[in-house]
Amino acid sequence: MKPLASLFISLVAGEAGTIVKHIRGAAIAYGLALIAALVGVSFLLLAAYLWAADRFGPINAALGFGAGFLVLAGVVLLAYRLSAKRRARRRAERRKSDLTAFAIAAGIAALPELLRSKEGLGTLLGPLAALLAYAVYRENFPSESKPEDTDASTRDPDQDVSS
């Protein structure tokens, strides 16, 4: 068994080294591409500024570019703020589903041990009986807090509303 474990460990370590080399190479390539893109965009902005300065004058061009970038920054921040609630709700849903999956997995893992002992069987049957009793109660006594359906489109047209 020990030779098999050492073979598995060396295989995983070798794969990890290969993955690290690939990630390092990709990071360098993407970093260089990002730098080149930023330089290209800078020159395009410079060319646009020089054209605007030639056409409208240097002060007007600088004011226009400054105002344009401030408006762009405002739009980006506004979009980020508007989407913050949606992102928070998505994170909460993901966290809830992760906790639910964890609880189910833990329950399934503990189930064989609980079924082997008398105390464990009682531990399982107690909440199950309570859940069944609650379901029967809800079926026979519906909640009073539910609003009645008073929508005009679902009312019987022959029914007198004034009385």
pLDDT tens per residue across span 123-154: 777 777 888 888 888 888 876 655 555 555 55
pTM of the predicted model as reported, rounded to 2 decimal places? 0.46
CA distances from 96 to 27, 30, 83, 92, 100 (A): 34, 35, 20, 6, 6
**Which pair of structure tokens corresponds to residue 57?**
């004058």
pLDDT tens per residue across span 69-98: 999 999 999 999 988 888 888 988 888 888
The percentage of residues in the chain with a pLDDT greater than 90, rounded to a whole number, is 33
pLDDT tens per residue across span 45-60: 999 999 999 999 999 9
162 pLDDT more than 70: no
CA distances from 36 to 24, 28, 31, 45 (A): 18, 12, 9, 14
- Is residue 120 within 8 A of residue 114, CB to CB? The reply is yes
pLDDT tens per residue across span 23-35: 899 999 999 999 9
